[in-house]
A and B are shown apart, each in its own frame.
Chain A
Amino acid sequence: MNEKKQLTLYVDTRRCMGCRACEIACKLENDLPRGPRYTMVTETEVIEDGVDKLKFLPVPCQHCADAPCLKACPTGAIYKRADGIVMVNKKKCIGCHECLWSCPFGVPQYGADGKMQKCTMCAFRQDHGEKPACAAACPAEAILVGSPEEISATLRNRYGAEASHTNTTRMAGKPVK
């Protein structure tokens, strides 16, 4: 009756402010040594309207609907769950790195055993009713997990009012009390 739909992990980049709590929360949750970084926060310098700014983008696995890594894997070690999470069966992985060369986001990591490991959207946590570790950790509450409808509702709640705000800059003359 309850069909498990693809869950989305959405990063609200308007909110991500580059604290990197998600990176270490992920390491802790997955009990990772130094080496594999399931999620990584990128930092890009931009000039926006003449102003120097930093833009942050955490890049965990996107769990693509049409995953290039899955198609590239020669042994079929990469598979997609019914709820859309892309997983690796380490027993089948031969550590050939094809997944890394085909992933546009550079997500696959390789552990000490040479086999591929990566973000699982905390499938194990989700199976136990918890949010992914990065989403729970984020102090800015920038990482949203849920169905597209749920995420859309949150975003509308956050930003929908923006369009209707009057311009609050300068009201010349008297101060506003």
Chain B
Amino acid sequence: MEHMNPIPWRKHEDLDKYAVKHNVPVTIGGKVVIADRVVKTSCPHNCYDTCGELVYIKDEKVIKIEGDPDHPITRGHLCMKGFANVAKINSPDRVKYPLLRVGERGEGKFKRITWDEAMDFMVEKLTEIREKYGSEALTEYCYSGNREHMAKTVMARFLNLYGASKLVGSFCLLSGAAGSFNTVGTQHTMMPDVWSETAEVVMIVGRNSSATNPHIYPFLYRAKERGAKVIVVDPYATGLASKADLHLRPRPGTDGAMALGMIHWIIKQGLQDQEFIDKYTYGFEDLKKLVEKWTPEYTEQITTIPKEQLIEAAELFATHKSHMECGYGQQRYSNGHQTQRALACLAAICGRVGKEDGNYNFIDSMGFPSIGENAFANANAVAVPEGAEIKSTRMLNIARIANCIHEAKEPPIKAVIAYRGGLISQQGNVDYTIEAVKSLDLFVSIEQFMTDDTDYADLVLPACHYLEQYGLHPSYWHHYLQLQVPVCQPPYECVPDIEIFAELGRRMGYGEYFPEETTGLDYIRMMIGEHCDMDEAVSPKGPMRFSEEWCPRVPYSDYKFDTPSGKIELFSNMMDERGKEFPGDYCPVPHFLEPDESIMGTPELAKKYPINVISQHPSFRTHSQYYNLPWIQEVEGPAKIYINEEDAAQRGIKDGDLLRVFNDRGELVNIVAKVTRRVKPNVAEMSSGMWVKLGGSVNKLTSLSVGGPRDISENGGIMYAYHPLLDGNTGAYFNTLIDIQKM
């Protein structure tokens, strides 16, 4: 592995200052190797656990990684991807040098160029595009491949100075977050070390912890060993569901209906916590009216959950010290916002909010209040440089970015700089998204490997692994912060994202706003330095628990909710108000609407495509990352789809057959059939994150349907006013209908 530093503008910090210990023996392959140093950091991939990690370095190379036993929640364990980072960071397939496209977009033909040439190319193109179309023709594409928050603010500084269109929103969880926020206000989570000791019932909705949250298990098992019962809500039988005492399997997209059915029964039996409702909630009568029709029979009809099971779950939840943990699967439908509203209302009417023996969790604010709109912590301190004139620009909703690119006018979108997210592999409707990318004058992809995105790029820049970069990524589930620090120098000509943006900024004439001495840690200090003693979270120290003020041990225990009424809003005033101003489903009570595509909601379409495919996140990767590693490919095997036994029998399909999977948007071929009972009839499961060019991308079939409340189909998803927690959105990947046949 070459470690060159041929790039004069690259920062070369002495990383030894982050060492926890020097000359540390580790065992590898039956031998003892003495690592030069071991460094503490944490994983910024997009999962709840945000594990504390100990990384062993020798000759500026990562040789081993382990969980940090000092971390009170992740307790020294990692997931399979955590361990696979050693293979990933040292992979011979890493992008090593800047590459300029020489063939057609999609051919993946490139030639190596120098960083100077790459910078000149970008400066030339960006200047040209601004002259020809206007500065709003540029935008970024950035998401959660490395979910830490600091680099994005540095890029935002550049984009603000340039006058680019802003990328806002989320395509993974803001529908649910909006639903949750519109009920209880600011989002908080109660850590598992609290409820595992106190709760009698734990209900987990829309999450497969085996894949995306394995560190919950010691706490979940502790609760079980104390006698607690576990309810899991998931359409399919997962690792987590297999540990449940009660597993409810709603028809995809009907978790909201299930919640309404449970609320109906609880009220009918008088099991609600009326004292709590009278004191701390608003709008009970409206909710009561809404759930009148949701009898167990009607709920069974809509959700396919047997009514005896629904009743059992409702009574179990309502009559015990229950804790509700919500995942994000249940809101990945066009009705996701109302689903989350209904779940929050369910917890509220049972008095399960603000209690040490069970609370309501969706997502945490991650340690810091939002300061300013659309900002995390004090992001604007970095994103909006003092003294600069920043013009107000339009906003592009990332849940509809392909639509934005197709439809934007005055100016059109002609340039995208993509980093930390797979635009082509992870957005819905691959073919439509590829057409959008092809229409650009400039597509820059900052990547670690030659992926689906790089195939269509004009310029590929060699990205750093997260272990080679600074980062601020607090967990959205627990309250311990370990800042990411570079554990070793980057190899080849890889450059950390912030240094790319800073150098580009200098070359575009914004030198005074990108001083050379500023490090990632300095930027982080600008964002959070005032609010916490962040040096306690930098290796060799850490992890650091956030203050009780921002991350209370028992959230909501003061029963002060930042909603208009100051109470938990079963009838949401904020939605009611917002709905007067903006289009979308802002119905202030959590009514149930069928998702955009569903067996019952779109029966004509369902005649052609009678199977609802859900594309969950497997344990093998984070979205499309890790998919190309030999270890991971070996354990995962070929692209496969889980189909129900009856659906298979009807089509003469046997386990192991190769299938064609298709709908009007696209098709996949040679997908291995796994005939199973883990999905119910008319449901299939095919993991997300498989690469388009390797033939397994479920996004060839998904659409750009989005969860609400805001309807962003007008104007292609381009907005001039937007509030994430009021408006949402989420990519509605799971309301996708398909059919399958033998090859």
Contacts and interface: CB of A to CB of B under 8 A. Distances in A.
A137 to B, nearest CB: 6
Given A21-B78, A24-B635, A139-B78, A31 B677 contact: no
A175 B318 CA distance: 7
Contacts of A14: 221
A47 B677 CA distance: 9
Contact of A34 (B81, B240, B631): B631
A68 to B, nearest CB: 24
A95 to B, nearest CB: 19
A21 B77 contact: yes
Contacts of A24: 80-81, 83-84, 631-632, 635
Interface stretch (B209-217, B417-425, B569-577): B209-217
A17 B677 contact: no
A52 B226 contact: no
B224 to A, nearest CB: 9
Interface residues of B, number: 71
A59 to B, nearest CB: 14
B32 interface: yes
A169 B83 CA distance: 40
Interface string A54-88: 11100000000000000000000000000000000
Given A19-B210, A34-B633, A161-B225, A25 B27 contact: no
A124 interface: yes
Tell me if A's interface is mostly helix, strand, loop or mixed: loop
A52 B677 contact: yes
Interface in B199-245: 200-201, 209-211, 214-215, 217-218, 221, 225-229, 237-243
B247 A51 contact: yes
A34 B78 CA distance: 20
Given A139-B78, A161-B225, A27 B631 contact: yes
Contact of A159 (B225, B238, B350): B225
Contacts of A112: none
Interface in B66-109: 66-67, 74-84, 86-87
Contacts of B214: 17, 19, 21, 139-140
B28 interface: yes
A175 B319 contact: yes
B315 interface: yes
B680 to A, nearest CB: 9
A70 B86 CA distance: 34
B227 A55 contact: no
Contacts of A153: none
Interface in A162-177: 162, 165-166, 168-172, 174-177
Contacts of B633: 34
Contact of A54 (B74, B239, B273): B239
A20 B80 contact: yes
B678 A139 contact: no
Given A29-B27, A162-B225, A23 B678 contact: no
B372 interface: no
Given A15-B217, A17-B209, A176 B321 contact: yes
A128 B27 contact: yes
B260 to A, nearest CB: 20
A17 B76 contact: no
Interface in A116-140: 120, 122, 124-125, 128, 130, 136-140
Given A19-B211, A169-B229, A176-B319, A28 B86 contact: yes
Given A140-B218, A169-B316, A25 B83 contact: yes
Interface in B2-38: 25, 27-32
Contact of A56 (B239, B318, B632): B239
A21 B678 contact: no
A20 B27 contact: no
A27 B29 CA distance: 9
Contacts of A162: 225, 227
A104 interface: no
Which of A18, A33, A170, A175 has the most CB atoms of chain B within a 10 A radius of its CB?
A175
A37 B214 CA distance: 22
A4 interface: no
A45 interface: yes
A130 B49 CA distance: 25
A162 B224 CA distance: 9
A140 B620 CA distance: 17
B408 interface: no
A91 interface: no
B678 A20 contact: no
B65 interface: yes
B676 interface: yes
Nearest to A160: B225
B79 A21 contact: yes
Contact of B221 (A25, A30, A140, A174): A140
Given A27-B631, A29-B29, A137-B78, 15 more contacts: A17-B217, A21-B82, A24-B632, A28-B64, A29-B28, A52-B678, A54-B239, A125-B27, A136-B67, A141-B221, A159-B225, A168-B228, A168-B229, A169-B316, A175-B271
Closest 9 CB pairs of A and B: A31-B29, A139-B214, A140-B217, A34-B630, A165-B227, A18-B239, A53-B242, A24-B80, A139-B77
22 contacts: A17-B217, A17-B242, A18-B239, A21-B79, A21-B80, A21-B83, A31-B29, A34-B631, A35-B634, A54-B239, A56-B239, A128-B32, A137-B83, A139-B214, A139-B215, A161-B226, A166-B227, A168-B227, A169-B316, A175-B273, A175-B320, A176-B200
Interface of A: 14-15, 17-21, 23-25, 27-31, 33-35, 37, 45, 47, 51-56, 120, 122, 124-125, 128, 130, 136-141, 158-159, 161-162, 165-166, 168-172, 174-177
Interface of B: 25, 27-32, 49, 64-67, 74-84, 86-87, 200-201, 209-211, 214-215, 217-218, 221, 225-229, 237-243, 247, 271-273, 312, 315-316, 318-321, 350-351, 619-620, 630-635, 676-678
